[in-house]
Structure 1
Amino acid sequence: MPVHTPNRPVCHHCDGFCAVSITTGTRHRDGSRTLLRVVCPVCDGTGHALPAPALARTGR
């Protein structure tokens, strides 16, 4: 039986591509490239964001 999980909104900062690898242009001794792994700071690498809380009106 399929498992139905609720749809979670995709992070609007990274559009679901939560981690990228950026080449530095240098190479290791074995010839492979040196990479930097960068994770989205908003969703912490999950690709999904929690919905923004509703604004609470204060005052009169």
Structure 2
Amino acid sequence: MARDDRFIKIYSQGTLNITEIWVDRETGVNYIFHASGNAGGLTPLLDREGKPVVTSVYDEE
């Protein structure tokens, strides 16, 4: 797997204030990315109990 294939964007919302959800294909961990203007941040997406959200590993090829 090439380096640029490790993460896949599964959700995107907004144009100026962007919110995206990315999934790591190797671990299944979901990450949330939010950007507004020149600032942005990425963090693991957590469930109600504070544990990372993990989905089945994507293999869309």
TM-score category of the 2 structures, normalised to the smaller one: under 0.3
Q: Which has the higher contact order (CA 8 A, sep 6+)?
A: 1
TM (norm. structure 1) is: 0.26
Structure with bigger gyration radius: 1
Structure with greater proportional strand content:
2
